[in-house]
Structure 1
Amino acid sequence: MHKRLLILCLLALGCSPLHFSGEPRPLDPGPIAFSGKPKIALVLGGGGERGIAHIGVLQALNELNIVPDLIVGTSAGAIVGAVYAQHGQMNDLATLTERHFKDFIQYTSRTLPYSISNSSKLEAFLHRLFGGKSLSDFKIPVVVVATNLEFGNTTAFSTETASQALLASASIPGLYPPVVIGNQNFVDGAVSNNLPVDIARDLGAEVIIASSLSVDISNDEPPSNIFGLILRSLTISLNSQLTHNCKLADYCIDIHTDSGRWFDSSHSKELFELGYNNTKNVLNNFNHDHY
């Protein structure tokens, strides 16, 4: 794991810049149209393998009879949310989604120079999940967040082919190559907006429930080299973004995990329970009558 992260840092520091031939303006995916104003929006943040905690969140929401009218997700949160949104309320949500997500974290194979993993397996996996469906075909409206690498802005996809939009949203820079949509390059949504509460708010949601996957670095050893220093700095930056965006939600389920579980499937049960228990605690007094 540490070797992989070191390679990511080396790539970020040493690779020649990518050359783009995109349009002179950022891609506009068009208006996000829903039938009626969403009452309850669920926002699921990015976080690699820690996204399994979102499954626990969804299971708890299901038991609490809280059904979102809109799902907005970044990276791992977008994938978990899309599986749920495709079928609506699923009887065996945890088993179905967790099985798929375990597959997702295993799809890495080395490739250079702009990434250390080939996205073809992840792309095939997403196609198996969603086929050629558009995001607009899902039972629950879903918005997938990615970052436009050419212009630096956050892009919200809601009508594109699901597998392509999700691949872009989960394309961690250095780990996966950028994804081309509309002649422009997109990478992981976490680069620009790891917890897109603002997008749900802009879409008119009356109440927003956010699931945030923050990293607890308090027990980590102090950085011993430049790579550790870079990683610590990136983690602090992401945590700061999550803290700010969490405050914008009406209910924020803040799920803390240590920094060593991004691509480690051995903690899946614990992660699921963290999401489940935290959701029950935060939404224990949720008033359905108001929404």
Structure 2
Amino acid sequence: MERFPEDLRIGVVLGGGGARGVAAIGILEVLVGAGLKPAAVAGTSMGALIGAFWAAGFSVAELKALATGTRWREVVDFAGAGGILRGQRFQRWLSDHLPATFEELSFPLVCTATDIDTGELVRLEHGDLVSAVRATCAFPGAFVPVERDGRHLVDGGLKSTVPVGCLPTGLADYVVACDFQPPLDRPVVPSQTTNTLDWSRFWEALTFRRRYLAADILLKAVDILQTEVCRRQLADQPPDLLIAPPMPDVNIEDFRLLHEIIDQGAAAARLALHAAPAPAPRSA
């Protein structure tokens, strides 16, 4: 795009959101197609997962093929105490596809996690890449916390769903942030009439087999909290460009809709880039 200089250093922030976060692939497709190159990426949960594969050298076409070709139910395993999903299969899957360390990536990446013992936001950007991605994706109560450096780490989205403030400083001239939080004005419409949530039903809900009213209410409550935190953080640290695909009919577990989700991410990115102001000239 003529308004964006060829040497513009882009910082990309990829938010979380389960299946909704896969819209990041469509956004990256548009950014790459516009000739914009990443100088650094920060991400949480699904955004960090996609950012890790991008930084590992996966093309957009390869990201699409991986996302839509993976049988996601086979990447998780039952745990019992501490979380529903143990995460060992997920770790093996990550190890099969990603480099062992952050230092092997093609550009800097920051994954965010939350210390479940202290409530601190933790930046993960050095050393073991696989455990960092596992940690940022460890939704509490669903995945067992990840032990790393003496901490018990879970999903970074608890503290920051779009971690603009975690981009490495001094590397980017222009920050593009991607927010995949669902709109809050949509009603909770479960596909089941019961409001009972026992462990077997919780398991079915978390492994995408069924939806129940209690699970819907729980997830909507999390959405409300995370959206409020996200709005405040983006107001305090606004990116140069915010891309937020609305996707009103997509839930976090809708992994059967990945083609449509990716397309919606691309559509939102095209609209946002078209309306984006030209970057300020870089100071000498």
Query: Where on the TM-score scale, by shorter chain, does this alignment land: which range?
Result: 0.7 to 0.9
- 96, 105, 109: which one pairs with 1:128? 96
2-structure distance, mates of 1:255, 1:245: 18
- TM-score for the superposition, normalised by structure 2: 0.79
Moved more, 176-185 or 107-116: 107-116
Structure 1 residue identity aligned to 2:220: R
Q: Which amino acid aligns with 1:101?
A: A
1:100 is paired with a residue of what secondary structure?
Answer: helix
1:266 maps to 2:262: no
Q: Which residue of 2 aligns with 1:108?
A: 76
Give the whole-Å Cα distance in 1 for the aligned partners of 2:233 and 2:268. 18
1:92-138 deviation per Cα after TM superposition (whole angstroms, max 9, x unaligned): x13x1133334374322322121111201110111011142x11221
Task: Give the aligned partner of residue 21 of structure 2.
Answer: 51
Matched, 1:209 2:176: yes
Partner of 1:249: 239
User: What SS does the aligned partner of 1:277 have?
Assistant: helix
Could you tell me how far apart the structure 2 residues matched to 1:114 and 1:77 are?
24
Q: Which residue of 1 aligns with 2:39?
A: 69
In 1: Cα distance, 2:170 partner to 2:80 partner: 39
Q: Is contact 2:9-2:39 (8 Å) kept?
A: yes
Q: What secondary structure, in the 3-state scheme, does the structure 1 residue paired with 2:80 have?
A: coil
**1:192 Cα shift?**
1.1
Q: 1:274 to 1:243 in 2, by over 3 A?
A: farther
| Deviation, structure 1 residue 62 | 0.6
Q: CA deviation at 1:172?
A: 0.8
Deviation of residue 259 (structure 1)?
A: 6.5
Task: Summarize deviations over 1:54-87 as a string: whole Å, max 9, x none.
Answer: 0001000011111120000101000101111111
RMSD: 2.5
Whole-angstrom CA distance in 1 between matches of 2:27 and 2:86: 30
User: 1:237 corresponds to which letter in structure 2?
Assistant: L
Q: 1:150 aligns with which of 95, 117, 124?
A: 117
Cα distance, 1:158–1:277 mapped onto 2, change above 3 Å: same
CA distance in structure 2 between the partners assigned to 1:289 and 1:222 by the alignment: 45
Q: Decide whether the 8 Å contact of 1:117 with 1:175 is kept in 2.
A: yes
Does the aligned pair in 1 maintain the 2:21–2:180 contact within 8 Å? yes
| Cα separation, 2, equivalents of 1:219 and 1:151 | 33
Distance 1:127 1:201, change over 3 A: closer
Identify if the C-alpha distance between structure 1 residues 204 and 245 changes in structure 2 by more than 3 Å, giving closer, same or farther.
Answer: farther
Could you tell me which runs of 5 or more consecutive residues in structure 1 were left unpaired when the two chains were aligned. Answer: 1-37
Once the two structures are TM-superposed, the CA of residue 245 in structure 1 deviates from its matched residue by 3.3
Alignment match, 2:50: 80
Deviations 1:235-286 (A, max 9, x none): 1111222223344111000122347521222211211111111111111256
Secondary structure in structure 2 of the residue aligned to 1:147: strand
2:265 is matched with: 275
CA distance in 2, matches of 1:262, 1:86: 25
Confirm whether residue 290 of structure 1 aligns to residue 281 of structure 2. Answer: yes
**Which segment drifts farther, 211-220 or 226-235?**
226-235
1:131-185 CA-partner distances (Å, limit 9, x unpaired): 42x1122111111111111221111111121111101111111111000111211
Is 1:239–2:227 an aligned residue pair? yes
What amino acid is the match of 2:259?
K
1:118 to 76, 86, 91: 86
Q: Given residue 66 of structure 2, which amino acid in structure 1 is its aligned partner? A: H
Query: Identity of aligned pairs, percent?
Result: 22
> Matches of 2:271 and 2:234 in 1, distance apart?
16
Report SS of the residue matched to 1:209: strand
2:104 counterpart residue number: 137
Using a 3 Å threshold, how does the CA distance of structure 1 residues 203 and 157 change in structure 2: closer, same or farther?
A: farther
